[in-house]
Each structure stands twice: as structure tokens, then as C-alpha cells.
Amino acid sequence: MKVTVVGTGYVGLVTGACLSEMGNHVLCLDLDADKIKTLNEGGIPIHEPGLLEVVRNNVAAGRLQFTTDVERAVSHGTIQFIAVGTPPDEDGSADLKYVLAAARAIGRTMTDFKVIVDKSTVPVGTGDKVQAAVADEIAKRGIKLDFAVCSNPEFLKEGAAVKDFMSPDRVVVGADDERAILLMRALYSPFTRNRDRMMVMDIKSAEFTKYAANAMLATRISFMNELSRLAEVMGADIELVRQGIGSDPRIGTHFLYAGAGYGGSCFPKDVKALAKTSADAGLPSKMLEAVEAVNDEQKLVLVNKVVAKYGEDLSGRTFALWGLAFKPNTDDMREAPSRVIIEELNRRGARIQAYDPVAMHEASRVMPASAQLAYASGASAALEGADALIIVTEWKEFRTPDFDGIRDALKDKRVFDGRNLYEPALIRAMGLEYHCIGRP
Ligand SMILES: NC(=O)c1ccc[n+]([C@@H]2O[C@H](COP(=O)([O-])OP(=O)(O)OC[C@H]3O[C@@H](n4cnc5c(N)ncnc54)[C@H](O)[C@@H]3O)[C@@H](O)[C@H]2O)c1
Ligand SMILES: O=c1ccn([C@@H]2O[C@H](COP(=O)(O)OP(=O)(O)O[C@H]3O[C@H](CO)[C@@H](O)[C@H](O)[C@H]3O)[C@@H](O)[C@H]2O)c(=O)[nH]1
């Protein structure tokens, strides 16, 4: 099939690449000329495991192309995916300006039947707005054209995006147009061949499903983070509690890790947006407000542990910091806990020597190096001359480090671990003082 994807970010590029892998002819459109240039030169603008290979294979096969030319992109695909950003507006609601601009561009340019698929995360009712925006642009041209709008929220996780897209748990499609449903079934059947996992529902329910999923996952994390604080006070071990409750299939083992708070481009903004929708509907959500408040506090838990040891004034102190990205296997720094931690430690006078396996470039773009923030060339280099080590992101290369090297490099032989990477008894036996999350 011929498919157009509007937006070549984390979702758009993965969608385009994976659809072309199944034989579709995909043209990806972005307004960001630099991104398209990188893609046309054989690179990708983000770090996402396995994505470069899929992109290269399909570009070479002639099934995947990139453009900034709106007219060319709109005329290409019968199916037009909208996968542009929906950042939070000042009041927390999702800003739809990119989605509606993309819809208008399609309406202004299309000349034949299109299925317009919203893949961006959008509030309930956006399908109607997209429908109206496209119809308005067609009406302005004084012509009549047939089109269908549907919702197809995306559930991939950064760092595992290609795998998640190629083997989805489910494909949610919100649609009321039979032609759109048939085309979406054809498009997704190769991804769900062993078991049909496509769920067709009305557009509003599909839009709501996406927010409900992220809100539920964020709730689990905040709940565990809150329990971890209580565990610490009571002398219980949150890791054992996690295993104890996760083994109940009604609870399940996933997304129960206490840590330094959730970040990323999705949970923070989607929890906020759903809370705003609830408030606007006259049903303010106490749950979501608590989920967000607990997470804001959790991003400061490591700072509080440092302050408990060193006092409020951290001038003259240097901390090594491992892990900048909001999670491993990505270079995404959006809402990363490391940003809050570095800002708070700097504010108290501390100097940071940070290292991340892939997010250094992006981190130095959003937090330029300064007298108080240096980017180290490696994990060991970050330790040089530091008082203590702070671990924020659980990259694999931090899991089994040279404990002797850490101990010898750190002045205070102290580790603050926001991801519970090490067995407390083991790391203490190696001569390091160890502070982690919710463990004695
Ligand atoms: N990042 C994720 O893991 C993830 C997962 C599921 C859903 N989502 C949702 O998907 C949407 C996209 O997220 P993302 O992380 O891929 O965003 P992103 O910011 O990485 O990419 C968005 C891209 O759209 C482009 N763009 C904006 N307006 C355009 C227009 N009119 N025409 C062409 N290109 C345009 C931008 O230049 C940018 O490259 C959001 O609604 C997000 O909530 C994201
Ligand atoms: O047990 C856990 C699991 C995750 N996290 C944190 O939660 C955040 C989000 O992690 P993850 O969900 O793995 O990454 P995202 O790429 O943000 O993916 C989420 O957001 C996407 C965008 O909407 C959805 O598509 C995905 O289904 C949803 O998992 C990160 O900061 C993690 O460190 C924890 O603290 N504890």
C-alpha cells in the first residue's frame, strides 16, 4: 500500500520504517529540513535500537523515502498518518496546533480519497476537530472530496520502539468508516498474523484508551515510589515487596520498579493532559493529581539523600552522575529526572561530572556545559576527583561496574543509586557506602 507519515520523530519514523519493512511504499514528511537532510543522507536523527538498519534496508529497497514537500507527501499515500508532537500547553492540556496544522495541510492539498489516521496522542474529541479542519480546507477550495478520519494511538516505548511496533500487544483503531477499517486491517495484519490483535472501536474510545494506558502505568510507578519511601522508614525492602506483589497475576511484574521518578515525552504530559480533561469535565481527578505530585517529589529523592549527608550548602562538592537520558537505550532528554537533579544540585553549589552512553549530545544541547556541569568522556572519567557517585539511569554498562575502581576514585566512597542497580550487601562489602531507593 501507499502510505504517508506526517512527522518523522520517535513515532513517525518508527511507524514509517516498520510499515515499509512489511512491503508498503512509505513517504515520510517533516517540516524540519535538517531531519529530512539527515534521513536522506542515510542517518537517523534519534537513537533507537535497530531503527537505522530498518531505515537503511527499506531506503535501499526503494520502499521508504523522506521529503519536506507537502504536496508530494499528500498526493502519495491513500493512508495519511499524522504523527506530530502534542506538547503540553501552559494549562497542561495537549496543544493540538501541530496535529491540526497537519490536518489542514492534507485538506488543502489532497485530490482524491484519503484515510487520515491520527497516531499522535490526542484528547477525546480531536477526531472531530481533525474531520472539521480537513472539511473546512476542502470547502475553501470550492470542491467536494471524500475522506475518512480514524484514530490509531501508538503504544511503543522508546528504546524498544522497533520491537514494540513489529510485535504489538494490540493495535487500537478508532473508526466508523468501513473503508478505513478495511484498509487499517490490511495494513496491520502482517504485524498480528499469529493472533488478531486489532481492536476496532469508536474514535473517542480509542483516543481515551491511550491516555488511560499511560495514566495507569504512571499510577503504578508513583504508587511504588510512594511505597518505597514508607519501606525506607519502616526498614522493609521495596525490591522484595515488588517481587512479592508482582507474582500475583492480578498485579503482574511489569512497571513496578521504584526509582528516581518517571520522565520522558509521554507520562508527564499525558497525566497532566488527562488531569486537565477531567477538571474541565467537572470531575477533577484526585488520583492523577497525586500521581503527578508524587512523581515531582520523587525526582528530588536523590537530591534529598545527598543533602541529608552533605547539608544544604554543596559548594565545593563534586558529584559524578551516571545516566542522563530519561531511560536506557534512548537519547531522549524530555522530562528526564537527571535535569531536575542536576539543576537542584547546581543551585546548592555542587559541581557535576556527568556521563551517559548515548545522550551526551542531546543533554549538552538542553543543559550546556558550564563551570558547574562538565560532560565526562566515560563512566570512569566522570568519577575522577568526585566526592560521590549518583546513578540516575539504569544503562546496562552501569550494572556490573568495577567496584574497586569506583571506591578508589571517590573521595567519600559513597554511591547514591536512583535505580537500585546493586545488591546492597555486595556493594557495601566492596567498601562503598550505598544509598538506594526503598531498601535498607
Ligand atoms: N515518543 C514516544 O515514545 C511516543 C509513543 C507513543 C505516542 N507518542 C505520541 O506521538 C506523538 C509524536 O511524538 P514524538 O515523540 O514522535 O514527537 P517528536 O517531537 O519526536 O516528533 C514530531 C515531529 O513532527 C514534526 N512536525 C510537526 N508538525 C509537522 C507538520 N505540520 N508537518 C510535518 N511534520 C511536522 C516535527 O518537526 C517533529 O520532527 C505525540 O503525540 C506523542 O505523545 C509518542
Ligand atoms: O517500573 C518502572 C517502569 C518505568 N519507569 C520510568 O517510567 C518512565 C517511562 O518509561 P517507559 O514507559 O519504559 O518509556 P516511554 O517511552 O515513556 O513509554 C511510555 O510512554 C509511551 C508514549 O505514550 C507509550 O507509548 C508507552 O506504552 C509507555 O510505556 C521512565 O522514566 C522510566 O524510568 C519507572 O520508574 N519504573
Instruction: Render pLDDT for 420-430 as a digit per residue (tens, 0 to 9).
Output: 999 999 999 99
User: Do the beta carbons of residue 372 and residue 341 sit within 8 Å?
Assistant: no
CA distance 378 to 395: 13
Superfamily for domain range 299-435: NAD(P)-binding Rossmann-like Domain (3.40.50.720)
pLDDT at 194: 83
C-alpha cell at 204: 473517542
Q: CA torsion sign, 198 to 4 to 147 to 205?
A: positive
Q: Is 413 annotated as a binding residue?
A: no
Name which residue sits closest to atom 22 of ligand 2, judged by CA. 266
The CATH number, out of the four listed (3.40.50.300, 3.40.50.720, 1.10.10.410, 2.40.50.140), of the domain defined by the range 2-201: 3.40.50.720
- Concerning whether 266 is annotated as a catalytic residue, the answer is yes
CA distance 367 to 333: 10
- In this prediction the pTM is 0.97
CA distance 79 to 72: 14
User: Do the beta carbons of residue 92 and residue 273 sit within 8 Å?
Assistant: yes
The ranges of the chain annotated as CATH 3.40.50.720 are 2-201, 299-435
How far is CA 49 from its chain centroid? 14
Residue 29 CA to ligand 1 centre (angstroms): 11
C-alpha cell at 80: 495519511
Residue 258 CA to ligand 2 centre (angstroms): 12
CB within 8 Å of 163: residues ≥ 6 apart: 50
Exposure class string for 369-396: b at 16+ Cβ within 10 A, else e: eeeebebbeebeebbeebbbbbbbbbbe
* Mutation probe of ligand 2 site: the residue of 163, 217, 243, 340 with most atoms within 8 A of C-beta: 217
Going by C-alpha positions, the residue among 84, 92, 17 that lies closest to residue 55 is 17
Q: Which ligand is nearest to the CA of 153?
A: 1
pLDDT at 196: 87
CA distance 216 to 211: 8
Q: Which ligand is nearest to the CA of 97?
A: 1
User: Do the beta carbons of residue 274 and residue 215 sit within 8 Å?
Assistant: yes
Q: Is 15 annotated as a binding residue?
A: no
* Mutation probe of ligand 1 site: the residue of 265, 270, 335 with most atoms within 8 A of C-beta: 265
What fold does the segment set 211-297 form as a domain? N-(1-d-carboxylethyl)-l-norvaline Dehydrogenase; domain 2 (1.10.1040)
Residue 217 CA to ligand 2 centre (angstroms): 8
Q: Which ligand is nearest to the CA of 339?
A: 2
User: Do the beta carbons of residue 150 and residue 118 sit within 8 Å?
Assistant: yes
Residue 332 CA to ligand 1 centre (angstroms): 13
Exposure class string for 42-57: b at 16+ Cβ within 10 A, else e: eebbbbbbebbebbee
pLDDT at 195: 85
Give me the residues paired with residue 390 across strands. 321, 416
> In Å, what is the CA distance from 259 to each residue of 4, 181, 265, 382, 388?
39, 41, 18, 22, 19
pLDDT at 3: 98
How far is CA 383 from its chain centroid? 29
DSSP letters along 198-255, please?
A: EEEE-HHHHHHHHHHHHHHHHHHHHHHHHHHHHHHHHT--HHHHHHHHHTSTTT-STT
Q: Which of 18, 150, 266, 436 is catalytic?
A: 266
Return the amino acid letter for 103: A
Q: CA torsion sign, 151 to 155 to 156 to 157?
A: positive
Low-confidence stretches of the chain (pLDDT beneath 70): none
DSSP symbol at 94: B
Name which residue sits closest to atom 29 of ligand 2, judged by CA. 157
> In Å, what is the CA distance from 53 to each residue of 14, 35, 234, 316?
11, 17, 49, 46
- The residue with cell 567496584 is 403
Q: Is 411 annotated as a binding residue?
A: no
User: Do the beta carbons of residue 234 and residue 226 sit within 8 Å?
Assistant: no
C-alpha cell at 172: 487500537
C-alpha cell at 131: 474531520
Helix (H) or strand (E) holding 107: helix 97-109
The ranges of the chain annotated as CATH 1.10.1040.10 are 211-297
CA distance 207 to 201: 10
User: Do the beta carbons of residue 145 and residue 116 sit within 8 Å?
Assistant: no
